Structure 1
Amino acid sequence: MRISPARRLAAAATVAAASVLALAGPAFAHVTVQPGSTPQGGYSAVAFRVPNESDTASTVKLEVNLPLDHPMASVRTQPIPGWTATLEKSKLDKPLKSHGKDITEAVSKITWTADAGTKIGPGQYQDFSVSLGAMPTDTEKLTFKALQTYDNGDVVRWIDETKDGQPEPAKPAPVLTLTKAAAAGDHHAGSADAAKDQGADHTATSSDDSTARTLGVVGIVVGVIGAGLGVLGLRRKSSAS
């Protein structure tokens, strides 16, 4: 059976569009920290953003491990309707100084468990907000290894650390970048807040850039399809005349 040029073009367009979506999807599927950066030495409210990757299962639990090599004295979760947060503490090898006191243990793990009837369904995401501090001043980033559990029993381990100069791993751990705090007596008021805003803007820009690239590729595919259909139309018109 002979396949018409129009059908061949339509089939090629379907394959191209599917390829674009397949390439674009994973870029938005990672568990991440929002915003992506915050100043050293201060307190910050961040959110662990959890997208549901499955088309058939729903997310019902999130476990986030806090780095004990850079412990924080204050960890507070924001209430989320339908979710129960549990904090686990661990003993510190070296006491942490906070407001003149020695802190001998710190939160090492936060677990959010969905109540009955609550879930992150296919095509959805959830932000799990936490207040953290004081941020360490002797490192430029904090890595939070996370486990995402689905109601079918699958567990996605977001624990791989990204290495400089190497491709991003398949399941990267969420990372919070720490920026230099404003120097004492800085005459630019609000510079610490500006640094935080810059980090948020950078995160938003990165997301916008990814979306723009995806739409650009889709536009090219649509353009090729349109051009092909136009050529077919001209040929048919020429044949008819």
Structure 2
Amino acid sequence: MSHGFSPTLRRGLTTAAAAGLVLAGAGPAAAHVSVSAPNATPGRSTVATFSVPTESDTAATTALRVTVPEIATARTEPVPGWTAKIERDDEDRVVAVTWTANPSSPGIRPGEFQRFVVSLGPLPETDSIDFPVEQTYSDGSVVRWNETGDHDSAQYPAPVLTLGADAGDQSGHEHGDQAAAEPGEGTDTTARWLGGLGLAFAALALGAGVGAVVRGRR
């Protein structure tokens, strides 16, 4: 009696392995710094929320610098344990906002994320805005989320905000989702759905394959 797998069972195992790869690939999307500003419109002010996860397993995030388009006003929402600073150019236009953890604050520890909220305006007359970010860690390392253009293939995509009546949460990697979502939640949820579907199909395939083997042995 042969103990080899039937073709149906082998296909089921292949599908299960592929589903596992989909789930494994879902993790990194949640690690990107993202920006959310529902209904952000060119020429008007908006409230933008930057969601910042700590990727390091050993160091905390202690500072965040967000480069913004040259605009007239910026007002930050207080964050307990953090100090905000608005940077302006020679013409008094806002060019960056920096949040720094106070000496008594632990910062954003490994496994955590923090939201930073700022009112910006008026927004430029454009379809979208890139917000390059410098994320500083307690060990002195700096991660620069500043890649623009093709965000799908970028390793360190800058958070991008699409402007328009239906503009919602925009991460550095994908578009969509609601304002208060956790960093990368939209893409992470999609990946989990895809992974779940893959596992469901794998389970069906495995069941069919095992049934075929049992019937063959009878």
TM-score (norm 2): 0.73
Shift of 1:36: 6.2
1:32 maps to which residue?
34
Please say if residues 53 and 122 of structure 1, whose CA atoms lie closer than 8 Å, have aligned partners that are also in contact.
yes
The residue type paired with residue 211 of structure 1 is: T
1:77 maps to which residue?
76
Q: Describe the shift of the 1:19–1:151 C-alpha distance in structure 2 as closer, same or farther (beyond 3 A).
A: farther
The residue type paired with residue 128 of structure 1 is: F
Q: Which runs of 5+ in 2 are unaligned?
A: 170-174, 179-183
The residue type paired with residue 38 of structure 1 is: A
2:181 maps to which residue?
none
More helix, by proportion: 1
Superposed counterparts of 1:143-182, under 5 Å: 143-163=130-150, 167-179=152-164
Q: How many residue pairs end up in the alignment?
A: 201
Please say if residues 64 and 133 of structure 2, whose CA atoms lie closer than 8 Å, have aligned partners that are also in contact.
yes
**CA distance in structure 2 between the partners assigned to 1:37 and 1:156 by the alignment:** 29
The residue type paired with residue 228 of structure 1 is: L
1:111 maps to which residue?
98
Please say if residues 63 and 98 of structure 2, whose CA atoms lie closer than 8 Å, have aligned partners that are also in contact.
yes
Deviation sequence 1:104-160 (CA, Å, 0-9, x none): x122221111123332233322111001112223x2222221111122322110111
The residue type paired with residue 140 of structure 2 is: G
Please say if residues 127 and 162 of structure 2, whose CA atoms lie closer than 8 Å, have aligned partners that are also in contact.
yes
**CA distance in structure 2 between the partners assigned to 1:156 and 1:106 by the alignment:** 26
**CA distance in structure 2 between the partners assigned to 1:46 and 1:134 by the alignment:** 12
Q: Which of residues 46, 51, 54 in structure 1 aligns to 2:53? A: 51
Q: Which of residues 175, 198, 204 in structure 1 aligns to 2:177? A: 204
TM-score (norm 1): 0.67
Deviation sequence 1:88-114 (CA, Å, 0-9, x none): 22113xxxxxxxxxxxx1222211111
SS at match of 2:71: coil
Q: Is 1:215 matched up with 2:193?
A: yes
The residue type paired with residue 27 of structure 2 is: G
The residue type paired with residue 162 of structure 2 is: T
Q: Describe the shift of the 1:213–1:17 C-alpha distance in structure 2 as closer, same or farther (beyond 3 A).
A: closer
Q: Which runs of 5+ in 1 are unaligned?
A: 93-104, 180-194
1:86 maps to which residue?
85
The residue type paired with residue 118 of structure 1 is: P
Shift of 1:85: 0.9
| Greater RCO (CA < 8 Å, at least 6 residues apart) | 2
The residue type paired with residue 106 of structure 2 is: T
